[in-house]
Structure 1
Amino acid sequence: MSAPPPLVHVEGAALAFRGRPALRGLDLTVQAGTTLALLGPNGAGKSSLIRLLAGRLAPDGGRVRVLGGDPHADRAVRGRIGYVPQEIALYPRLSVAENLDVFARLAGLGRGARRAAVEAVVGRCALEEVARRPVGTLSGGYQRRANIAASLLAAPDLILLDEPTQGVDLDARAAIHAVLGSLRAAGAGVIVSTHDFSEAERLADRVAVLSDGRLRLAGDLAALMRPLAAAPPEHEAVLEGVPDSAAQAALREAGFAPEAGDPRLWRADHGAAGGLDGAALLATLRGRGVPAGEIRVRRPGLETLYRDALNGSAGAAA
C-alpha cells in the first residue's frame, strides 16, 4: 500500500528580504496528523517558513505545496490552513465571540455555520467564561487562546503557530498544549515555532532545526532522542565570578565550553571529564581555582540535539 501524499512538501525553498537571504534551499515534508516543532535561534528563518506555508509570501525559488496546491496562488488552499501569528491579531474592543464571528465571516461561513463554528472553537479552546468579554481586558493567556480559536473556525487541515505560548503563565500554557494535542488527535497537521525545548518535547512527533535559513536537523523526535538514553549526563557550571585564564583552562580541560553571552555559565553537553557527579566535580573545579558556585546535572534531551545541530556535529535525518 502506497504512503499517502504529504500534507506539506517544501522543495528548495529560497527567500530573501532586501537582498538578505532568509531561507536557503530548504526541503521539508510533513504528513497529516503530525506535529512538527520548528526550532532555531532568532533570525534562523522559522517565521519566514511559516509565512510561506500560510501563503502570505511566495518563495523566490523552489516550491511550496500544501495539500498538493500552492498556498500563495490558490485561495482554496489557503482556506484549509489556519495561521496563528506571534502577534495578537484580534480587535481589542470586541468580545471574544464578536471577534470570532468577524473572522468566521471573513472565512466565508454562512450565518448558521458561523454560529456553530464559533461555539465549537470556544469549547475547544476553553473560552466559555470569557466569550462575552472584550479581548483587550483579557490576560495574555486568554488572548493567545482566542487567537488560536480564530484560526480554527474553518476546520483547517494544517495549523501554523508562531510562538503560541510566548509570555503566558503555566496554566495558560497547559491549556494551549491541550488544544494543540486535540488538533493532532483529530488528524490535523500542526507546525509550531518555539524556543521552548520542553514544549517541543511534549507536543511534537517530529522536529526541524533551522539556522541561517538552512535546515540543520530534521526527523522523528523519538528516533532522534533514542541514542541519548545511553549518553552521559550533562553538566552545567554556574560561576560566582568571571573566570581568569587559568580557571578557563581548567574548565575546558574538564569538557566545559562557555555559554554565548554569559561568561559565568559553562556547559559540558556530553558530560564532564571523568564522569564525576555534581558534588565531586564542584570540589575538583574549586580546587583548581574555578569560582564555581553550583553544578547542575541533567539528562541529555532535545536541547542537546539542538546544540549539536547548530555546531555541525549532528547530521540531518530523513
Structure 2
Amino acid sequence: MSASSPSPAALVRDLAFAYRGLPVLDGVELAVRPGEILALLGPNGAGKTSLMRLLAGRLSPGRGAVRVLGGDPAADPAVRRGIGWVPQEIALYPRLTVRENLDVFARLAGLKRAARAPAVARALERTGLGAVEGKLVGLLSGGYQRRTNIAAALLAEPRVILLDEPTQGIDRAARTAIHAVLGRLRGAGAAILLATHDFAEAERLADRVAFLRDGRIRLDGRLDTLLATLRSGPPEHEAALSDPAGPAAAAALRAAGFHPAGALTWRAADAVAGGRDGAALLDYLRRAGVPVREIRVREPGLEALYLDVVGVAPAVEAESR
C-alpha cells in the first residue's frame, strides 16, 4: 500500500456467510478507504444487503474477518457507533416530525442530552432538511423521507457510511439532492459503500466499483480505469423503440446482439449485426419488423461493463430513470 493510499476504514477478508444453511457469501475480499465512494453492483440475490449488514455489525460471519475502523462491528458497540447504516427500507416514525425523528434516533445512538440538539442541527444542515424539519415524516415525499433516513444515520458523526439503494423509487430532483449529500460526506473524509442498481448513479458518484454475483466479488477496480479500458474497444449501440418489442421483434434484436435496457431501449456493447453502421442497422431492424425509432452510437458505460462481468442483462429499469 502506497503512502498516499490511506488504510481501509472498512475491510473484509475471506468472508463467508450462510443463511439457514444456504451459502450467501463465499470468499469475499473488499476494502473501503476514507474519502472514497465504492459502488457495489450486482443482481438481486447476489448478497449485497447481507454484505452490508455484516459490515454494519447486524450479522456475524461464518468464516473470515470483518473489520471496521480497526474493530469487529458485531462484537464491539463502540465500533458500531462509528458506522452509519442506511437500509433500503424507510425506518422512521411517520407520526413524528423530521426533527422529532432525529431527536429519537439521537437518543437511540446514545448521544448525551447536551450533544443531541447540535447533532440534530448538523444532520438537518448536511441533508438540506431545514425547510421541512417541522413536518410529519408520513406526509413527506419519498425523497424527503430517504433524506431523513440518511440524516438519522449521520447523527453520531460516523466515519463509515453504508447505504443500500438510497435513491430507489424517488424522482430526479430528490436523487440529485441525495447525491449532493453523499458528495459532501466523501469530501469530509467518510468512507462510503453504496449498493445500487442505478448505473448512472454509480458513474456519477463512485471512485471504485465492485461487482458481486453468486456471493463472490467478480471485479473490483477504479471506475475511471475500468471505463477507459472498456472504451478502447468498439462503441455501444442503442436502439430506441417507438413501441415495446413483441416476441418476434425481441428475437430479432437479440439475434443482432442487443439486450433490453428499458421498456423502449435495447443496447449492444459490441459491433452488431455483421458490423453494419447506424443507418444500415436501422434499416436491417426495421426490415425484421422491429419498431425502432433511431439507433444511437456512443461510448460504452458502466452498464456494458456490468453485462460483461456479471454475465446477465441488468434488470430493466423504468424509462424515466
What TM-score do the two structures reach when normalised by structure 2? Answer: 0.88
| 2:246 counterpart residue number | 241
Aligned pairs for 1:18-57 within 5 A? 18-57=20-59
| 1:205 counterpart residue number | 207
Q: Is the 8 A contact 2:162 2:193 kept in 1?
A: yes
| 1:293 counterpart residue number | 292
| 2:315 counterpart residue number | none
Structure 2 unaligned spans of 5+:
313-321
Query: 1:190, 1:163 → 2: CA distance?
Result: 13
Per-residue deviation, 1:216: 1.0
Query: 1:59, 1:154 → 2: CA distance?
Result: 25
Would the alpha carbon gap of residues 117 and 21 (structure 1) be closer, same or farther in structure 2, given more than 3 Å must change?
A: same
1:154 lines up with 2:156 in the alignment: yes
Deviations 1:193-219 (A, max 9, x none): 100000000011000111111111111
CA RMSD of aligned residues (A): 2.3
Number of corresponding residues: 306
Would the alpha carbon gap of residues 306 and 143 (structure 1) be closer, same or farther in structure 2, given more than 3 Å must change?
A: same
Read off the aligned partner of 2:309 and give its amino acid letter: A
Per-residue deviation, 1:236: 3.6
Q: Secondary structure at the match of 1:108?
A: coil
Would the alpha carbon gap of residues 85 and 306 (structure 1) be closer, same or farther in structure 2, given more than 3 Å must change?
A: same
| 2:168 counterpart residue number | 166
Read off the aligned partner of 1:299 and give its amino acid letter: E
Would the alpha carbon gap of residues 65 and 277 (structure 1) be closer, same or farther in structure 2, given more than 3 Å must change?
A: same
Q: Is the 8 A contact 2:273 2:281 kept in 1?
A: no
Query: 1:223, 1:212 → 2: CA distance?
Result: 25
Query: 2:238, 2:102 → 1: CA distance?
Result: 46
Aligned pairs for 1:275-314 within 5 A? 275-287=275-287, 289-297=288-296, 298-311=298-311
Q: Secondary structure at the match of 1:235?
A: strand
Per-residue deviation, 1:311: 2.1
| 1:185 counterpart residue number | 187
Deviations 1:284-315 (A, max 9, x none): 2334x343524442320011111111129xxx
% same residue: 59
Query: 1:191, 1:13 → 2: CA distance?
Result: 17
| 2:134 counterpart residue number | 132
Would the alpha carbon gap of residues 244 and 156 (structure 1) be closer, same or farther in structure 2, given more than 3 Å must change?
A: closer
| 2:62 counterpart residue number | 60
Read off the aligned partner of 2:248 and give its amino acid letter: P
Q: Secondary structure at the match of 2:211?
A: strand
Structure 1 unaligned spans of 5+:
313-318
Would the alpha carbon gap of residues 18 and 188 (structure 1) be closer, same or farther in structure 2, given more than 3 Å must change?
A: same
Bigger shift: 223-232 or 83-92? 223-232
Q: Is the 8 A contact 1:14 1:60 kept in 2?
A: yes
Read off the aligned partner of 1:100 and give its amino acid letter: L
Deviations 1:74-96 (A, max 9, x none): 11100000000111111111111
Deviations 1:167-210 (A, max 9, x none): 11111111100000000000000111100000000011000111
Aligned pairs for 1:255-266 within 5 A? 256-259=257-260
Would the alpha carbon gap of residues 20 and 265 (structure 1) be closer, same or farther in structure 2, given more than 3 Å must change?
A: farther
Query: 1:229, 1:154 → 2: CA distance?
Result: 42
Query: 2:42, 2:130 → 1: CA distance?
Result: 35
Per-residue deviation, 1:105: 1.2
